[in-house]
Amino acid sequence: MWQNLIDTLDKLGEVYDKLATLGEKKRSALVTINMDALAKVLDEEQLLAAKIQRLEKTRGELLTKLSKADITINEATKAKDFYRCAPTLVIEKRLIQLHERLGKNVDRALRIRDNNQILTQCALNAVQVQLNKIGGATLEPTYGNKGGDVVTHKKNFDFKA
């Protein structure tokens, strides 16, 4: 069972690394406004997210089974303390190594995701500005009562004519 945990942590680390790499491709697609590339990246992200979900479920099940064997382990036990219960020092070191790798890859993926969210919001704002220009809308120099922009529209057509 310990080997299954090692394999699962290793696969999780790989998938999060792929997710971070995919996030960098997504950033390029957002910056260049390449919608075809963005669509492909989003499809790949969904597949990776499904893999992560399956692997996390497996990891949780393995941890539950392994923790039942040791009464000193509870929900508050930290991962590194849990790994010290491994049957050999080699397994313990490998688990700690994979845990640290997974943590770094998750942090990297989250950092890239946060940056991409900012780029996405900026792109949506730019689209909204262009749509407002096309529609003849103007932005008032004051904010509305809820703190948002006040947009007024010119009447381009006289429907009573």
Residue 49 pLDDT exceeds 90: yes
Residue 44 class from Cβ within 10 Å (0-12 exposed, 13-18 middle, 19+ buried)?
A: middle
Q: Are 22 and 37 in contact (CB under 8 A)?
A: no
Nearest Cα to Cα of residue 101 among 2, 8, 12: 12
Q: Are 119 and 26 in contact (CB under 8 A)?
A: no
What are the boundaries of each domain within the chain?
2-136
CA-CA distance, 40 to 53, in Å (whole number)?
Answer: 20
CA-CA distance, 79 to 145, in Å (whole number)?
Answer: 49
Rama region for 147: left / alpha / beta (φ>0; ψ in -120 to 50; rest): left
Residue with the larger pLDDT of the pair 68 and 107:
107
Residue with the larger pLDDT of the pair 84 and 102:
102
- Angle in degrees, 0-180, between the axes of helices 35-68 and 2-32, rounded to the nearest 10: 160
> What average pLDDT does the segment 93-102 reach?
91
Class for domain 2-136, per CATH? mainly alpha
Longest dimension (CA), the chain: 88
Q: Are 5 and 66 in contact (CB under 8 A)?
A: yes
pTM for this predicted structure: 0.73
What per-residue confidence (pLDDT) applies to 153?
A: 61
Q: pLDDT band at 14, cuts 50/70/90?
A: very high
> What average pLDDT does the segment 140-154 reach?
66
Q: What percent of the chain has pLDDT over 90?
A: 39
What per-residue confidence (pLDDT) applies to 150?
A: 67
CA-CA distance, 101 to 114, in Å (whole number)?
Answer: 20
